[in-house]
Every structure is written in structure tokens, then in C-alpha cells.
Amino acid sequence: MRIRTQLRLTMAIAFGVVLLVAGLAWQSVNAANEAGAEQERSRTVARHATALLLLTQEYPRYFEERVAQQWRERHSALVVELSQATLSGPEWAGLGGLAVMRLAAEQCGTGQQAGSEDEGVERFHVVSPGDADPG
């Protein structure tokens, strides 16, 4: 094999390796960005759920319309956030937890019973602050 041919072959292999490394780097950056976005969505849902819990505990003490209004606002924000969440990938296979949370959040304002299709998950009753009898 001539030196010129060997040099071209070596350059082609080096170029291929560079393209492979660049592709892997691009893929890892995309995966890191997706993981960061998913983590931020999880934090947002946790914040909304925590705020709902606090407002739910505060309402029976004071029965103020302000608390009920804040509860409705947080509930709406939680429903929107859960409706935007997606279950993708093999790690979510068979997991119905997010579906249960979506169903509970959607039915929470109406005071309907919510639960999952899985028999292992207990059914529960959710009442919004507006449904409680203040006196």
C-alpha cells in the first residue's frame, strides 16, 4: 500500500472517530438537558403539592376565602403541571403512579373518589376547601 493511500485511510479513520465522539458528546448533552428539565418539573410538582397540603391544613382552622382561593390556584397549577408530564422510556413501564396523581388532581376539586386501576392502590376521597362546611 502506498504511503499516500495509508495517509488518506488514516485521515478517514481519524475523521470518523472525531464524528463518533462529537455525536456521543451531543447525545450526552441532550440527555443531561432532558434530565434537568425533568428534575425541574418534579420540583415544581412537589412545590405545588406541598403548598396544597399546607393550604388544606390551614383551611379548617380559619375557613377564610383567601385560603380557599389560594388552594384553587395551586390546584389548577398542579393539574396543568401533571397534564404536561410524560411517561416515556422503559423505566416507566408498568408505573401507574403519575396516572393516579393526574386522576386525583383532576377529581380533587369536585370531591369525587379517585384511585388507580391497580388493585394494590387504595381508593381515597379528596375534598377541596370549597367543599368543606365552615360551620
Query: How many helical (H) and strand (E) elements, i.e. helices and strands, does the chain have?
Result: 3, 2
Domain boundaries, the chain: 3-131
The predicted pLDDT at position 124 comes to 34
* Count of Cβ atoms closer than 10 Å to residue 78 Cβ: 23
User: Is the whole-model pTM more than 0.75?
Assistant: no
Per-residue pLDDT in tens (0 to 9) along the chain, 135 residues: 899 999 999 999 999 999 999 999 999 999 999 999 989 988 988 888 898 898 888 888 888 888 888 888 888 888 888 887 665 655 555 545 555 555 666 666 554 444 433 333 333 334 344 444 444
C-alpha cell at 112: 369525587
The predicted pLDDT at position 5 comes to 94
Parallel, antiparallel or unpaired: strands 113-114 and 124-125? antiparallel
